[in-house]
Amino acid sequence: MTARLEITQTKSAIGRKPDHRGTLRALGLKRIGHTVVHDDTPVIRGMVKKIAYLLEVREVTKG
């Protein structure tokens, strides 16, 4: 089974650095409480690590 990441935005992007806001958009997050699911890849992990203070991440398995 392939691992996937369930990523939820928990804090506002207002007043954050432009590249951090861009990373939120690149992940597909649009507002607080919005959740997206992505495959667990090094690229996604790097994006999550960069803005971890804005997110809540949970690992889920693809069945």
Predicted local distance difference test score (pLDDT) of residue 61: 84
Place of tokens 């960069």: 50
Q: Let me know how long the chain is.
A: 63
Spatial contact of 7 and 37, defined as CB atoms under 8 Å apart = yes
0.75 surpassed by pTM: yes
Of the CATH numbers 3.20.20.390, 3.40.50.620, 3.30.1390.20, 3.40.1360.10, which one belongs to the domain with range 3-61?
Answer: 3.30.1390.20
**Tens digit of pLDDT at every position of the chain (63 positions):** 689 999 999 999 999 999 999 999 999 999 999 999 999 999 999 999 999 999 999 999 866
